[in-house]
Chains A and B, each alone.
Chain A
Amino acid sequence: AAGVIQSPRHLIKEKRETATLKCYPIPRHDTVYWYQQGPGQDPQFLISFYEKMQSDKGSIPDRFSAQQFSDYHSELNMSSLELGDSALYFCASSPDKAGTNTGELFFGEGSRLTVL
Chain B
Amino acid sequence: GESVGLHLPTLSVQEGDNSIINCAYSNSASDYFIWYKQESGKGPQFIIDIRSNMDKRQGQRVTVLLNKTVKHLSLQIAATQPGDSAVYFCAENEMGDDKIIFGKGTRLHILP
Contact = CB atoms under 8 A, between A and B. Distances in A.
23 contacts: A4-B43, A41-B104, A42-B102, A43-B44, A43-B89, A44-B102, A48-B98, A56-B97, A56-B98, A58-B99, A99-B95, A99-B96, A101-B95, A102-B32, A103-B46, A103-B49, A105-B44, A107-B43, A107-B44, A108-B43, A109-B41, A109-B42, A110-B42
B46 A98 contact: no
What class of interface size applies to chain B in its complex with A? 20 to 34
Interface residues of A, number: 28
Interface of B: 31-34, 41-46, 49, 51, 89, 91, 93, 95-105
Contact of B89 (A4, A42, A102): A42
Contacts of B46: 103-106
Interface string A25-60: 000000101010000011111001010000110100
B109 to A, nearest CB: 15
Given A42-B104, A90-B44, A103 B98 contact: no
Nearest to A42: B102
Contacts of A99: 95-98
Nearest to A91: B43
A93 to B, nearest CB: 11
A103 B100 CA distance: 7
A42 B34 CA distance: 14
Q: What 9 pairs between A and B have smallest CB-CB spacing? A: A107-B43, A103-B34, A56-B98, A98-B98, A42-B102, A103-B49, A45-B99, A55-B98, A43-B102
A41 B49 CA distance: 21
B88 to A, nearest CB: 11
A110 B40 CA distance: 11
